[in-house]
Structure 1
Amino acid sequence: MDKIDAMHAFIAVVNEGSFTKAADKLNTSNQMVSKQVAQLESHLGARLFNRTTRKVHLTEAGQQCVPLALEILERLNDMEGSLGMLVDQAQGLLRISAPVSFATRYLTPLVREFKLQNPLVGIDIQVSDRKVDLVEEGYDLALRIGHLKDSSLVAKKIAPINLVMCASPSYLAKEGEPNHPNELNPKHYLRYSYMEHYASSTALMAALNKASKESGSIFSANIGDVLVDAAIAGDGYALQPTFMVAEAIKNGKLKVFLKDYQPQPLGLYVVYPHRKLLASKLRKFIDFINNYYGAPPIWDRFV
């Protein structure tokens, strides 16, 4: 039994004074209205109407039920109206988890423009390279970079993330520009701690994996910005995503080499828990970011 439909039928009979007129009001059959009222009576364990061939009279139990049913239906209408506003107009707080380096470079302008179009949406960005649990930690979505594995989450690819080998012009002038990964000096590898989890298996990655095992390697870090700064200073070479080194390449502080050995691109993904019945704030953010960075993305236009 649909209790809401049954209460609508009950109130319609009360207002119209007969099952037939109630059926006309609800655009249904007399039999359906009778069935719904009978089911409500059975569920409540009380007769709501005394029926005669000509008239319908409320019982004492029926009279007590009228204000209660009206209040329930009124509150339901209020709830539907409130939710309708949420569906039609983006509002509420949107909680986002994002990688540190990407967020500091490319997320702020996006959020600013999104807020201009959706002023009722609040934004809470938590930056971390940790893989957060969206459901357990109460996030609406996360931005993630890599090759995503199968999961219960929905993932939408927003843009490619290319990885490039780069070093300062002064380093390459001093050490020579390698033409093959085997010519790399393992002691000068500025290693990102988690790169092996992201990059595809190539000749370049094989050489870098070998280099990472060399005890004489300069250093490694779990934040790429440290390595980019070291590469700009001439301390060695690094494999980094273009969104992190584009500005330095544009300004001549870094130079890309070994282009023929680049790993397969990673992806920038929006990850969220559900595909159906998305809140308007989330749906509009996904639509907005989907086309924001362009093709090719803005960080690849100087590389």
Structure 2
Amino acid sequence: MTTDSASDFEFFILIARLKSLSGAARALDLTPPAATKRLGLIEQRLGARLVNRTTRSVSLTPEGETYLRYATQIVGQVRQMEDEISGSRSDPHGLLRINATLGFGRTTIAPLVSDFAKRFPNVEIQFEVTDRPIDLVEEAFDMAIRFGELPDSRLSARRIMSNRRFLCASPKYLERFGTPERVEDLVRHRCIIHRQNDDAYGVWRYMQGDHTEALKVKGALSSNDGDIVLRWALDGHGILIRSEWDLAKYVQSGRLKLVLPDTVLPSADLFVYYPSQRNQTARARAFIDFLIDHFQAPFIPVETGAAIYAQKKRGGRKA
């Protein structure tokens, strides 16, 4: 395989990912005419049209889909070969594409990317945040960092952090409206709804024995942003479900209180997802290890009512 062929593969993968010839030209610092000419030369050499072009976007022909599939495999194998020969965990290099959720990616993962870039200056990092899960394979990302499990059998996953979820409210709200004593009492309370992806609106799930139950709740405030709904709970607007990661410091300071603390909700463990461990690059492995080292003890766990009671009993026995 010639150097020009390898470059053409990467050029075409970029066109397919961006669905834009002009976008690929900008990414490679080419003029649009130069990018058009380059694509034309590839098609001329193969004797087949690879893309259908419109004024706004491009779509792949069946021949283009075949070319993309082989090009992606070949480029991946070349990168793996280069990593095995010249790359290592101590000196990773090359391009690393990372995706994360919008708020968590901005506030928590972005600073870690900065620290990682300082430690490994030879790694070029493209970091994107999105409000919905993406297709890592089709969009050519090395990994995604997400709370909860993604239903995609093509992906491998590694747990970064265990992260329980709890019901909570501010002391101000509980003083005014009372504290629920059973899960069923939530239907008579003001609940703050965090709208996520395609979840049913206002349906909260909890564990009952070995199965999951669903409860329809309602409230005057809802948002798709986790930071916003947390702020509303702190302001006393209602009861909210949030993860231990978000709640720990507010529970410890007394600004939020757990509601029905021994009710078990579906967890929101933090995972890093990647297309295949077998073809994982040294730079991807280095970043995943870097994440796990950081999240070894990210916060002091929230103590539920049962844990606090047990702690008091132990303290009493010592006395």
The structural deviation recorded for 1:267 is 2.0
Q: Secondary structure at the match of 1:298?
A: coil
Q: Secondary structure at the match of 1:110?
A: helix
Is 2:212 the partner of 1:211?
no
Would you say the 8 A contact 1:87–1:279 is kept in 2? no
For the aligned residue pairs, the C-alpha RMSD in angstroms reads 3.0
Would you say the 8 A contact 1:95–1:139 is kept in 2? yes
Relative to total residues, which structure has the larger helix share, 1 or 2?
Answer: 1
Aligned 1:34-45 pairs, distance under 5 A: none
Partner of 1:202: 207
Partner of 1:274: 276
Question: What is the letter of the counterpart of residue 207 of structure 2?
Answer: T
1:178 aligned residue (170, 177, 180):
180
Partner of 1:165: 167
The structural deviation recorded for 1:95 is 1.4
Partner of 2:195: 193
Change (3 A) 1:112 1:134: same
Change (3 A) 1:266 1:247: same
Change (3 A) 1:201 1:165: closer
The structural deviation recorded for 1:142 is 0.3
Deviates more, 1:193-202 or 1:114-123: 193-202
Q: Which has the larger radius of gyration?
A: 1
CA distance in 1 between counterparts of 2:94 and 2:232 reads: 42
The structural deviation recorded for 1:168 is 0.8
The structural deviation recorded for 1:301 is 3.3
Q: Secondary structure at the match of 1:158?
A: strand
Is 2:87 the partner of 1:86?
yes
Would you say the 8 A contact 1:190–1:220 is kept in 2? yes
* CA displacement, residues 99-129 of structure 1 (integer Å, 9 cap, x when unaligned): 1232234223432332333222233221112
Partner of 2:309: none
CA distance in 2 between counterparts of 1:103 and 1:122 reads: 18
The structural deviation recorded for 1:176 is 1.6
CA distance in 2 between counterparts of 1:166 and 1:264 reads: 15
The structural deviation recorded for 1:183 is 2.1
Aligned 1:1-303 pairs, distance under 5 A: 84-87=85-88, 89-194=91-196, 196=199, 201-202=206-207, 206=213, 209-212=215-218, 217-294=219-296, 297-301=297-301
Change (3 A) 1:82 1:258: closer
Change (3 A) 1:202 1:91: same
CA distance in 1 between counterparts of 2:106 and 2:249 reads: 13
Question: What is the letter of the counterpart of residue 85 of structure 2?
Answer: G
Change (3 A) 1:241 1:174: same
Question: What is the letter of the counterpart of residue 141 of structure 1?
Answer: M
The structural deviation recorded for 1:246 is 2.8
CA distance in 2 between counterparts of 1:82 and 1:289 reads: 20
TM-score, normalization by structure 1: 0.63
Percent identity, aligned pairs only, is: 30
Change (3 A) 1:246 1:102: farther
The structural deviation recorded for 1:163 is 0.6
Structure 2: tracts of 5 or more residues without a match: 1-79, 304-319
CA distance in 2 between counterparts of 1:300 and 1:130 reads: 29
The structural deviation recorded for 1:221 is 1.8
Q: Give the length in aligned residue pairs.
A: 218
CA distance in 1 between counterparts of 2:151 and 2:81 reads: 38
Would you say the 8 A contact 1:144–1:270 is kept in 2? yes
* CA displacement, residues 8-34 of structure 1 (integer Å, 9 cap, x when unaligned): xxxxxxxxxxxxxxxxxxxxxxxxxxx
Question: What is the letter of the counterpart of residue 85 of structure 1?
Answer: S
Q: Secondary structure at the match of 1:259?
A: coil
* CA displacement, residues 241-297 of structure 1 (integer Å, 9 cap, x when unaligned): 122233333333211121110314232111111111321110111122223211xx4
CA distance in 2 between counterparts of 1:140 and 1:154 reads: 11
CA distance in 1 between counterparts of 2:83 and 2:192 reads: 54
CA distance in 1 between counterparts of 2:97 and 2:154 reads: 19
Q: Secondary structure at the match of 1:98?
A: strand
Would you say the 8 A contact 1:165–1:262 is kept in 2? no
